[in-house]
Amino acid sequence: MKVTTKALRTRVREILDCLDRGEPVTITYRGKPRARLVNIEQDRKKFGSTTGEFPVFGIWKDRDEIEDVNAYVRDLRKGRSHAD
Q: What is the pLDDT of residues 46-72, one digit of tens each?
A: 655 555 566 666 667 777 777 777 788
Cα–Cα dist 44/52, whole Å = 7
Kindly state whether residues 32 and 10 are assigned to the same domain: yes
Kindly state whether residues 41 and 65 are assigned to the same domain: no
Kindly state whether residues 34 and 2 are assigned to the same domain: yes
Cα–Cα dist 75/32, whole Å = 37
pLDDT confidence bin for 78, thresholds 50/70/90: confident
Which alpha helices (DSSP H) does the chain contain, by range? 5-10, 12-20, 40-47, 69-77
State which residues form the domain around 60.
Answer: 53-84
Pairing relation of β-strands 25-29 and 2-4? Answer: parallel
- Separation in Å, CA 2 to CA 9, 19, 51: 13, 12, 30
pLDDT tens, 24-45? 999 999 999 999 998 887 766 6
Kindly state whether residues 43 and 57 are assigned to the same domain: no
